[in-house]
């Protein structure tokens, strides 16, 4: 299954990350560097794929870090995260 996840750059412009083989995703890690989101996908076979919302970045300031474990149980967090309006406006609750 392919899942589309939206990531944003510092101008809140959305980019689509098409995550293939979504059924085998173990964890999603999202870093916000200088307002740009970077999505890192970890699969069951220990492979990793990353999507960066920026094409260039002059400085790397770590603004935020999110981690969504066990995607099948926590898919509602991903849906909530996809509805945000900027890379700074969401706080995920731990469960």
| pTM to 2 decimal places | 0.76
Task: Report if residue 47 sits inside a domain.
Answer: yes
Task: Report if residue 16 sits inside a domain.
Answer: yes
**Is the predicted pLDDT of residue 53 greater than 90, yes or no?**
yes
Task: Report if residue 87 sits inside a domain.
Answer: no
Task: Report if residue 27 sits inside a domain.
Answer: yes
Task: Report if residue 88 sits inside a domain.
Answer: no
Task: Report if residue 67 sits inside a domain.
Answer: yes
Mean pLDDT over 22-41 rounds to: 91
Residues 27, 41: Cα–Cα separation, whole Å: 6
Instruction: Check: CB of residue 39 under 8 Å from CB of residue 51.
Output: yes
Task: Report if residue 12 sits inside a domain.
Answer: yes
Domain count, the chain: 1
Q: DSSP of 37-83, one letter per residue? A: EEEEEEETTS-EEEEES-S--S---EEEEEEEESTTT-HHHHHHHHT
Domain of 64, in residue numbers: 3-71
Task: Report if residue 19 sits inside a domain.
Answer: yes
Give the up-direction half-sphere exposure of residue 39: CA atoms within 13 A in the CB hemisphere: 23
């Amino acid at each position: 299954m392919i899942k589309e996840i939206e990531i944003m750059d510092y101008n809140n412009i959305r980019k689509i990350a098409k995550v293939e083989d979504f059924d085998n995703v173990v964890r999603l890690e999202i870093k916000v560097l200088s307002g740009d989101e970077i999505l890192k996908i970890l699969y069951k076979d220990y492979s990793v794929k990353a999507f960066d919302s920026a094409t260039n970045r002059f400085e790397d300031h770590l603004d935020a870090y999110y981690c969504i474990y066990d995607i099948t149980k926590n898919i509602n967090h991903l849906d909530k995260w996809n509805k945000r309006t900027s890379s700074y406006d969401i706080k995920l609750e731990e469960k």
